[in-house]
């Protein structure tokens, strides 16, 4: 049986996967809100609001879980990340708060004045910034993130502001936009399906192109990931799995099978993130902080894992009920637009 450190670290990675698949798609919907400027822009914004309105707050539970697990189970790694990467993380949190505040305020502000439009722009721009900053943060974890030393720029800017991390940030933005487009294509009214399908094609091509660029850049910027993918048995299988899932997804898009496209796209993102996590193993923060030398005492891990199991009994049925009500039972019913 895997050790407690491995079990908790795996739960942390899984929570990040869920965050990208669900909350990430909400961010991507904000991207399409920003770009909905044609003659059917209002209808597209209505569709976006209908898709994310009932569930967007619940999706942040996965990010909260990941942060709590890192803090409680691996405190030295938490300290290093929150210290060295405090600039992008603060900007990420501000983007998440600004996005949520703008969405909520605009929902109740029905006046046709400049402030009403400003909330929509704040929602959209924050939706663009958040995934970029999250991607840059995760990208920096694949490089050497050492304890602060030297000047402010060397300690707190260069670790996350590099060509590699910017490309990873762009990849994150493309991926969440792609997921959102496919989800919206699945749920959209008939007259909007072609619009979101086209956007799924464009963002999907962008995502796969940036994924290839990122993979090539790992050779010089994150050599441990390069070796994992090209010099290990599991890395090769993961690359083959991503390629097969991508092929199945594009076939589904070509044949106009939105539900299958959604399934294959989500599976592809999961495999990509699993490959990144396995390439990091056993490091949480390179070059010296692993899941073993930063783990909390065994008693703490045991209590934490028990709390996770107990919480899952409440969390998963609650989320299933939430999605069942707002994504199943109420699908196709009239809705009141707030955007």
Give the model confidence (pLDDT) of 294-323 as tens digits. 999 999 999 999 999 999 998 888 888 877
The predicted pLDDT at position 48 comes to 74
The band of 205, judged by pLDDT with boundaries at 50, 70 and 90, is: very high
**pLDDT at position 217 over 90:** yes
CB atoms within 10 A of CB 12: 20
**pLDDT tens-digit readout, 90-99:** 999 999 998 8
**pLDDT at position 187 over 50:** yes
**pLDDT at position 10 over 90:** yes
Distance between CA atoms of residues 41 and 128, nearest Å = 18
CB atoms within 10 A of CB 250: 17
DSSP-derived letter for residue 283 is: E
Task: Report, as an integer, the average pLDDT of 81-89.
Answer: 94
Give Cα 212 to chain centroid, integer Å.
Answer: 18
Task: Report, as an integer, the average pLDDT of 21-41.
Answer: 79
**pLDDT at position 333 over 50:** no
The band of 334, judged by pLDDT with boundaries at 50, 70 and 90, is: very low
CB atoms within 10 A of CB 232: 13
25 compared with 85, residue with greater pLDDT = 85
Phi/psi for 284 (5° steps) reads: -90, -45
The predicted pLDDT at position 12 comes to 94
**CA proximity to 160, closest of 171, 175, 145, 147:** 145
The predicted pLDDT at position 284 comes to 92
**CA proximity to 277, closest of 174, 78, 82, 141:** 141
Cβ atoms of 238 and 271 within 8 Å: the answer is yes
Q: Tell me which CATH code domain 4-329 carries.
A: 1.20.1630.10
For 332, counting Cβ atoms within 10 Å of its Cβ (0-12 exposed, 13-18 middle, 19+ buried), the class is exposed
CA angle 12, 162, 278 (to 5 degrees): 30
| Token pair in block for residue 176 | 């969440």
Cross-strand partners of 290: 283
| Token pair in block for residue 5 | 């450190």
The band of 40, judged by pLDDT with boundaries at 50, 70 and 90, is: low
Cβ atoms of 266 and 272 within 8 Å: the answer is no
**pLDDT at position 172 over 70:** yes
Specify the DSSP element, H or E, that contains 290: strand 289-290
The domain locations on the chain are: 4-329
The band of 260, judged by pLDDT with boundaries at 50, 70 and 90, is: very high
CB atoms within 10 A of CB 314: 9
The predicted pLDDT at position 297 comes to 93
pTM of the model: 0.89
The predicted pLDDT at position 221 comes to 92
The band of 265, judged by pLDDT with boundaries at 50, 70 and 90, is: very high
**pLDDT tens-digit readout, 112-129:** 555 666 777 888 899 999
């Amino acid at each position: 049986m895997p050790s407690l450190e491995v079990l908790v670290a795996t739960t942390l990675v899984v929570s990040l996967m869920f965050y990208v698949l669900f909350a990430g798609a909400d961010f991507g919907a904000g991207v399409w809100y920003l770009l909905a400027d044609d003659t059917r822009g209002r209808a597209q914004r209505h569709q976006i609001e209908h898709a994310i309105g009932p569930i967007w707050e619940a999706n942040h539970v996965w990010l909260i879980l990941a942060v709590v697990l890192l803090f409680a189970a691996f405190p030295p790694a938490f300290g290093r990340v929150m210290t060295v990467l405090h600039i992008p993380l603060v900007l990420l949190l501000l983007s998440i708060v600004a996005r949520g505040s703008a969405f909520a305020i605009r929902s109740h502000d029905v006046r046709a004045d400049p402030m009403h439009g400003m909330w929509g722009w704040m929602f959209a721009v924050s939706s663009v910034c958040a995934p970029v900053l999250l991607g840059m943060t995760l990208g920096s974890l694949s490089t050497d993130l050492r304890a602060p030393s030297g000047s402010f720029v060397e300690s707190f800017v260069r670790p996350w502001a590099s060509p590699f991390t910017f490309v990873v940030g762009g990849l994150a933005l493309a991926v969440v936009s792609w997921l959102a487009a496919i989800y919206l294509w699945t749920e959209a009214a008939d007259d909007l399906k072609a619009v979101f399908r086209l956007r799924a094609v464009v963002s999907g091509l962008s995502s796969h192109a940036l994924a290839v660029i990122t993979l090539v850049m790992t050779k010089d910027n994150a050599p441990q990931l390069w070796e994992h993918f090209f010099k290990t048995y599991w890395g090769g299988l993961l690359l083959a799995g991503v390629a097969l899932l991508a092929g199945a997804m594009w076939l589904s898009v070509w044949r106009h099978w939105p539900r299958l496209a959604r399934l294959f796209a989500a599976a592809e993102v999961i495999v990509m993130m699993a490959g990144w996590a396995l390439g990091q193993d056993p490091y949480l923060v390179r070059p010296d902080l692993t899941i073993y030398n930063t783990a909390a005492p065994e008693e703490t891990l045991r209590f934490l894992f028990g709390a996770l199991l107990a919480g899952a009994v409440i969390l998963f049925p609650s989320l299933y009920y939430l999605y069942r009500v707002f994504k199943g039972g109420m699908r196709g019913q009239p809705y009141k637009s707030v955007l």
